[in-house]
Amino acid sequence: MPSSGEKKRLSSDTLTAVGIIIPVEWDDRGNPTAVAIATYNEKEYLIDLGNETGKRLHAAIHEKVEVKGVLGKKTRKRRILTVEAFKRL
């Protein structure tokens, strides 16, 4: 596991990161509609909520996690991370 939350690239598009799940967008009622992982080296990756693993991370707001996934294109000044696996720390 990477120390101090630093990310470790497993291949050109694969990433393992440790950090906190944070909300980054909200609906009119104040409910989070998008989340990101904020790493300890001040990087943020927007979580793709299009798969079941990403949707489960939405319920882990404010929790420390280790995520493994594939980096996608950049949007809203953040890279999109499609999460393949995660664990709460």
Q: How far is CA 27 from the centre of its chain?
A: 19
* Distance separating alpha carbons of residues 54 and 64, to the nearest angstrom: 15
* Distance separating alpha carbons of residues 26 and 65, to the nearest angstrom: 21
According to the model, what pLDDT value does residue 12 have?
63
Q: Do the strands 44-47 and 78-88 form a parallel or antiparallel pair, or are they unpaired?
A: parallel
Confidence of residue 74 (pLDDT cuts 50, 70, 90): confident
Asked: is 3-88 a CATH 3.90.550 domain? The reply is no
According to the model, what pLDDT value does residue 44 have?
94
According to the model, what pLDDT value does residue 1 have?
45
Could you state, in order of their start, the residue ranges of all structural domains in the chain? 3-88
Which tokens hold the place of 38?
């904020």
> pLDDT by residue (tens digit) across 75-89?
878 899 999 999 999
> pLDDT by residue (tens digit) across 34-50?
999 999 999 999 999 99
